Amino acid sequence: MNLEIWVMILGIVLMLADFFFNVAPERKKFLAYLAIGFLAVLLFVNLGNNVTMGVGFNGAFVEDSLAVFFKRFFLVAAILVLFLSSEFSGKFTTSVSEYYSLIIFALTGMLFAASANDFAMLFVSIELITITFYVLVSYQRRKVASLEAGVKYLIIGALSSAFMVFGIALILGTTGQINFTELAKVASQYADNKIFLIGVLFLIAGLGFKISAVPFQIWAPDVYQGAPTPTTAFLAVGSKAAGFVLLLRVLFTAIPTITAHAVDFLIVASALTILYGNLCALPQRNIKRLLGYSSISHAGYLLLGIAAVSASGQSAVMFYLAGYLFTIVAAFTVVALVMQHLDNEDISALAGLNQRSPLLATTMTFAMVSLAGLPPLAGFFGKFLLLKSVIAAGASNHCYYYLAFTALAGIVISFYYYFGVIRAIYWSKDAKDLTPITLSGAAKFSIALCIAGMFWLGAFPGTVVSLADEAAKALK
């Protein structure tokens, strides 16, 4: 737990920075760079040392290859989001240091979620993430859209928490077990117990909210649109990944025998999520709202790996998340830098971007191509691995072939709106402002990392695939 403790200390230091140090507003970016440097050190130490595997708190906290993979993922996500936050800081009317500290506290919850091995740790970690995001979403309190997004997220988030707690109570009441490892030993005995199965369903419903899967997705477009852009980026990658690591733990560590009999349910959930996200994205003009519906569709693609109920599917989920991290942060970085001085976030604002900033235009193009799933970027290989895992499972259940066809149809549909963004950048004649956009060194560095990540994972996926395969072994 050394990593979690150091991250918590960093969050407290950032929160108290304004109180103890008279930091001038124009120097607030220094706090973000301080946090980035600290997290980078923690990441390199984690990468360079052999992490001690084991359990703590009577088995509630587990340090295994799955936890290590996701903790590194969350650290990279937080670093990139902090870069984005430092560029966006001029939009905040309240203390910027508090915003940075809230990102760190959300990161702490994600780190605990990666190691959660019982329902108590699961609930505490997910509530730490969610409650922190209640504040982050509505941080621009003078904007009606931000406050509205915060209220919607609060109401639906509270409802999902209620479902989750009720589900945990039913599972605990029927089995007497709260630890995932111990629950796995007895879960098969309750396969026909309706109360236990209802508890599992309610728990999955609560996690479905975190990953914005149908039918728990209604919050995503409004919240993505109204929240500050760095918050939206962190929701899209950090919160979603936390939901998936908990889903992997629950389905394949706590109740593997129940999961094996729920394949049809997972197939339907994946197919509906893919279709809903892609079809609803078609008419969108607000770029953040479009990416919100896109995020729903990507939750559906990730559910392909869950529905496959195989080690290859679990590994594909982790690889896809890694590629999605660099891709979506790149997209939101462009959105923040181009639209931070505008009253709306219509796609038409991207018109002429290739003349204003060739680097930003190229970055957004790469991001859209990767999200669409075209080579040689990360999105292509991620979708390939997910489809491969589903097709491989088709021999045992022909429904997997229908699911693969649905996923391919969703990919084809997505070409329209992703390439609509590219068309607006290069071929739209609606450009009203061709003023060059000046980028800071930090923005250029962050963009370079995202582009490098997209190409590296697309052209040389072997290293991350090996790490994902190793992480998937912890679920056996």
Secondary structure (DSSP) of 397-425: -THHHHHHHHHHHHHHHHHHHHHHHHHHH
Asked if residue 464 belongs to a domain, the reply is yes
Total number of domains in the chain = 1
Which carries the bigger pLDDT value, residue 57 or residue 383? 383
Report whether the peptide linkage leading into residue 376 is cis, meaning its omega lies within 30 degrees of zero: yes
Distance in angstroms (rounded) separating the CA atoms of residues 223 and 411: 24
Distance CA 261, CA 286 (A): 40
Residue 333 CA, distance from chain mean position: 15
pLDDT value at residue 431: 66
Confidence check: pLDDT of 52 > 90: no
**93 falls in which pLDDT band (50, 70, 90)?**
low
Model confidence at 88: pLDDT above 80: no
Helix (H, G, I), strand (E, B) or coil at 243: helix
Whether residue 318 is predicted with pLDDT greater than 70 in this model: the reply is yes
Looking at residue 21, what is its pLDDT?
65
Q: Examine the pLDDT at 174 and tell me if it is beyond 70.
A: yes
In a domain, 242, yes or no: no
Q: What is the pLDDT of residue 341?
A: 63
Please say if the pLDDT value at position 272 is more than 80.
yes
456 occurs within a structural domain: yes
Q: Is the pLDDT of residue 137 over 80?
A: yes
pLDDT range class, residue 350, cuts 50, 70, 90: confident
Q: Which pLDDT score, from 0 to 100, does residue 352 have?
A: 81
pLDDT for 296: 93
Residue 281: its H or E element = helix 263-281
250: amino acid identity, one letter: V
Of the listed ranges 84-88, 340-344, 374-378, 427-431, the least confidently predicted one is: 340-344
What does the mean pLDDT of the chain come to?
87
pLDDT of 92 reads 63
Instruction: Note whether residue 458 is domain-resident.
Output: yes
Q: What is the mean pLDDT of residues 276-285?
A: 92
Checking if the pLDDT of 428 tops 60, the result is yes
User: Which long-range contacts (C-beta less than 8 Å, at least 24 apart) are formed by 88-95?
Assistant: 88/228, 88/229, 88/230, 88/336, 88/340, 89/28, 89/29, 89/32, 90/340, 91/140, 91/228, 91/340, 92/139, 92/140, 92/228, 93/140, 93/141, 93/142, 94/139, 94/141, 95/18
Residue 171 CB contacts under 8 Å (≥ 6 apart), including other chains? 119, 177, 183, 196, 199, 200, 203
Tens of pLDDT along 435-450? Answer: 778 888 888 899 999 9
> What's the mean pLDDT in 175-183?
88
Section 369-384 average pLDDT: 91
Residue 349: its pLDDT value, please? 83
Mean pLDDT calculated for residue range 359-367: 92
* Look-up of token digits 């709260």: 178
Weakest-pLDDT range from 20-34, 192-206, 284-298: 20-34
Of 86, 111, 69, 68, nearest to 30 (Cα)?
86
Highest mean pLDDT pick, 156-165, 320-329, 336-345: 320-329
In a domain, 316, yes or no: yes
Written as six digits, the tokens of 408 are 């391919």
pLDDT at 109: 92
Task: For residues 225-253, give the mean pLDDT.
Answer: 90
Q: What per-residue confidence (pLDDT) applies to 398?
A: 86
Within-domain flag for 50: no
Residue 51's pLDDT is what? Answer: 62
Q: Is the pLDDT of residue 316 over 90?
A: yes
Residue from 288, 338, 355, 325 nearest 449 by CA: 325
pLDDT at 222 over 60: yes
* pLDDT 10s digits, 94-136: 677 888 889 999 999 999 999 888 999 999 999 999 999 988 8
Query: What's the rounded mean pLDDT across residues 296-319?
Result: 92
| Mean pLDDT calculated for residue range 323-340 | 90
Residue type, 436: P
Instruction: Say yes or no to pLDDT of 56 above 80.
Output: no
Q: Is the pLDDT assigned to residue 355 strictly greater than 90?
A: no
Residue 370 has what pLDDT? Answer: 93
Nearest to 200 by CA among 218, 217, 183: 183
Amino acid at 411: I
Say whether pLDDT at 48 is over 80: no
- Kindly tell me if the per-residue pLDDT of 342 is higher than 70: no
Report how far residue 32's alpha carbon sits from residue 86's, in angstroms, rounded to the nearest whole number: 6
Terminal Cα distance for the chain, rounded: 23
Instruction: Report if residue 248 sits inside a domain.
Output: no
pLDDT at 26: 56
Range with the lowest mean pLDDT among 163-167, 176-180, 236-240, 428-432?
428-432
**Average pLDDT of the residues in 342-357:** 80
Which bin fits 64, alpha (ψ -120 to 50), beta or left (φ > 0)?
A: beta
pLDDT reading at 302 higher than 90: yes
Percentage of the chain beyond pLDDT 70 is 94
Residue 241 lies in a domain: no
Structural domain span for residue 314: 264-476
